[in-house]
């Protein structure tokens, strides 16, 4: 005997384990009970919330949905389709809705990531500009002893890329830890592929090169004499 809202139910059997369903819910966490008992004793309603219907052939799914819609309108005495007080959805429609939601969320996350990359890139550029200003005499000294323009350019580009790649590594490590924590604490399955880590490092390096080029170019274009005089 078990109790649901202080109402006793007798367990007559246990279904075979099915695992997770196609929509992510655990199919082993369901209790099957007479719908009339649920209506009268638990919910206190005279109507049914949902009916699941399966077709034995894929080609009859749409005609069946149309027939069900017509029958429901007839039973509910509805003349205008805009006044339907019910909805009939097929698995294909639900799948399309989920795909659209996933695409929307992907676009939103990409927008947030783009803004984060922009802000991070501007931060790297500002740091490198400050570094160029503080090391003006060093740059002039390097040029005076034979460093070429491309040597200075490569030096500061390498520093900018190092900054961005280190930041990317910290972000990836944080993402892995959070994902593992969600899987452990809430049971949400997460998957981090090696390719996603490679792409993240590639983007981090690209951000360093793009936003670090201007400070590096500015350092490379310094006049050695003026740089050595800089206080």
Going by C-beta distance under 8 Å and a sequence separation of 6 or more, which residues neighbour residue 87? none
Mean per-residue pLDDT over the chain, rounded: 85
User: Which ranges of the chain would DSSP assign to H, the alpha helix?
Assistant: 35-37, 61-75, 91-134, 136-144, 149-186, 194-220, 224-229
Residue appearing with tokens 């590639």: 202
How far is it, in rounded angstroms, from Cα 1 to Cα 147? 86
Confidence of residue 11 (pLDDT cuts 50, 70, 90): very high
Question: Rounded to whole angstroms, how far apart are CA atoms 79 and 85?
Answer: 12
**Biggest alpha carbon distance in the chain?**
94
Picking from 171, 231, 179, the residue whose alpha carbon sits closest to that of residue 207 is 171
CA distance 79 to 89: 20
- pLDDT for the residue 231: 62
Residues 49-77: pLDDT tens digits? 888 888 888 888 888 888 999 999 988 88
């Amino acid at each position: 005997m078990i109790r649901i809202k202080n109402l006793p139910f007798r367990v007559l059997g246990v279904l075979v384990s099915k695992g997770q369903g196609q929509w992510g819910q655990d199919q082993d966490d369901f209790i099957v009970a007479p719908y009339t008992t649920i209506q009268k004793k638990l919910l206190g309603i005279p109507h049914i919330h949902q009916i699941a219907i399966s077709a034995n052939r894929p080609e009859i799914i749409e005609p069946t949905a149309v027939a069900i819609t017509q029958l429901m309108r007839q039973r509910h005495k509805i003349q205008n389709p805009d006044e339907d007080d019910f909805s009939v959805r097929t698995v294909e429609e639900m799948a399309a809705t989920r795909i659209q939601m996933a695409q929307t969320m992907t676009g939103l996350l990409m927008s947030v990531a783009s803004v984060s990359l922009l802000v991070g890139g501007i931060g790297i550029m500002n740091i490198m500009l400050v570094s160029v200003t503080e090391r003006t005499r060093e740059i002039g000294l390097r040029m005076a002893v034979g460093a070429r323009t491309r040597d200075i350019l490569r030096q500061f580009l390498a520093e900018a890329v190092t900054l961005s790649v280190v930041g990317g590594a910290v972000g990836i490590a944080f993402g892995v830890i959070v994902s593992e924590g969600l899987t452990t604490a809430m049971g949400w399955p997460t998957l981090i592929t090696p390719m996603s880590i490679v792409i993240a490092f590639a983007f981090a390096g690209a951000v360093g090169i793009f936003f670090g080029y201007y400070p590096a170019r500015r350092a490379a274009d310094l006049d050695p004499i003026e740089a050595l005089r800089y206080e």
